[in-house]
């Protein structure tokens, strides 16, 4: 397992906190007989849902199927990149942490049939602390500590809301979209909650090891942080509204990664191409957040 800490924006003390994208690379899931049978059922359900979603995308624009598809894609695009990043972390694929007995709290992995202690690197650019005003472990702890209660609350919110969608089942032809939406959001937030809680457990067991990467630093040098002040105002504007003066002279934040640098990161560290879309979305969301 590897964890990549990729700063998206630089922190400005007293004004803006940095945005960091945590990209996890986990080992492939081992295939057992039980997991294979379960995997087949999950794959069958996933393929059926994907095929249905694909058909709806090709439906006439005036039909309810296409409208539902459009709303669904819009909702998916609005998901926080932090949630998407956490959803990609499956605690079952990471090292196991003992909870009792000798060696409690030590992270274990099975190698050649024997449990061994492991360490997980947090790969980051050497300039991480100057960009975020925090060391990697402290930033990750704050990130996970904020996400655990947030996603736990949303999980229970959607679980409790799902039964109230039952009246929609009485509508003929059209499936119970509100129910499926609640189930989808509950499952998504549950996965994010468990992943954030797993990261906190890894932090508590001193398993995560900050690892500076000059390769990653060379990519960040392509997009240096720049403070761009807003255009100056006229004296009349300053006199009529003094509060706008501070807004006009406040710096704007630049996004530290460009879209064309995402393939460089994936290639440099042998990451799967499937990691690219979520990182691209994170860059886009970071750009939108700093301009709102």
In a domain, 108, yes or no: no
Contact 17, 81 (CB under 8 A): no
How far apart (Å, rounded) are the C-alpha atoms in residues 57 and 70? 8
pLDDT confidence of residue 263: 93
In a domain, 280, yes or no: yes
pTM above 0.85, yes or no: no
User: Do residue 223 and residue 289 come from a single domain?
Assistant: yes
Which strand (E) or helix (H) includes residue 244?
A: helix 243-249
Q: Provide the domain count of the chain.
A: 2
In a domain, 144, yes or no: yes
User: Do residue 154 and residue 175 come from a single domain?
Assistant: yes
pLDDT confidence of residue 210: 95
pLDDT confidence of residue 242: 44
In a domain, 258, yes or no: yes
User: Do residue 1 and residue 19 come from a single domain?
Assistant: yes
Q: Among the three residues 191, 209, 227, which one is the final residue of a domain in this structure?
A: 209
Q: For residue 252, what are its two tokens? A: 């704007």
User: Do residue 259 and residue 238 come from a single domain?
Assistant: yes
User: Do residue 203 and residue 147 come from a single domain?
Assistant: yes
Q: Among the three residues 188, 209, 230, which one is the final residue of a domain in this structure?
A: 209
| Helix/strand/coil for 214 | helix
Other beta carbons within 10 angstroms of residue 1's beta carbon come to 19
User: Do residue 252 and residue 184 come from a single domain?
Assistant: no
How far apart (Å, rounded) are the C-alpha atoms in residues 48 and 118? 39
Q: Among the three residues 170, 185, 209, which one is the final residue of a domain in this structure?
A: 209
In a domain, 145, yes or no: yes
pLDDT confidence of residue 139: 95
In a domain, 205, yes or no: yes
In a domain, 56, yes or no: no
User: Do residue 193 and residue 224 come from a single domain?
Assistant: no
How far apart (Å, rounded) are the C-alpha atoms in residues 21 and 182? 26
List average pLDDT for each run of 10 residues in the chain, which is 292 residues long. 93 80 84 57 65 76 77 78 91 72 53 70 93 93 95 94 75 71 88 95 90 92 52 47 41 78 93 91 89 68
Contact 201, 97 (CB under 8 A): yes
What secondary structure letter does DSSP report for 102?
T
User: Do residue 228 and residue 287 come from a single domain?
Assistant: yes
User: Do residue 241 and residue 269 come from a single domain?
Assistant: yes
**Residue 8: domain span:** 1-36+218-292
In a domain, 124, yes or no: no
């Amino acid at each position: 397992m590897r964890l990549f800490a990729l700063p998206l924006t630089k922190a400005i003390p007293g004004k803006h906190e940095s945005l960091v994208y945590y990209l996890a690379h986990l080992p492939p899931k081992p295939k057992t007989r039980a997991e294979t049978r379960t995997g087949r059922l999950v794959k069958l359900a996933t393929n059926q849902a994907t095929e249905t979603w694909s058909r709806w995308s090709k439906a006439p624009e005036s039909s309810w199927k296409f409208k539902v598809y459009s709303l669904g894609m819009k909702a998916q695009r609005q998901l926080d990149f932090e949630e998407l990043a956490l959803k990609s972390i499956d605690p079952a694929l990471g090292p196991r942490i003992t909870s009792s007995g000798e060696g409690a709290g030590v992270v274990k992995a099975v190698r050649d049939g024997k449990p061994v202690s492991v360490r997980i690197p947090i790969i980051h650019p050497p300039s991480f602390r100057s960009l975020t005003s925090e060391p990697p472990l402290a930033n990750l702890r704050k990130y996970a500590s904020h996400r655990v209660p947030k996603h736990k609350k949303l999980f229970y919110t959607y679980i409790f809301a799902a039964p109230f969608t039952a009246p929609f089942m009485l509508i003929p032809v059209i499936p119970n979209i509100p129910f499926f939406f609640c189930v989808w959001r509950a499952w998504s937030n549950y996965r994010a909650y468990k992943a954030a809680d797993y990261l906190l457990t890894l932090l508590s067991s001193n398993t995560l090891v900050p690892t500076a990467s000059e390769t990653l630093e060379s990519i960040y040098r392509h997009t240096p942080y720049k403070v761009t002040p807003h255009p100056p105002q006229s004296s009349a504007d300053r006199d009529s509204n003094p509060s706008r003066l501070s807004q006009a002279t406040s710096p704007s934040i630049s996004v530290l990664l460009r879209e064309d640098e995402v393939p460089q990161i994936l290639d440099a560290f042998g990451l799967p191409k499937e990691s690219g879309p979520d990182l691209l979305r994170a860059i886009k969301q970071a750009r939108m957040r700093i301009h709102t």
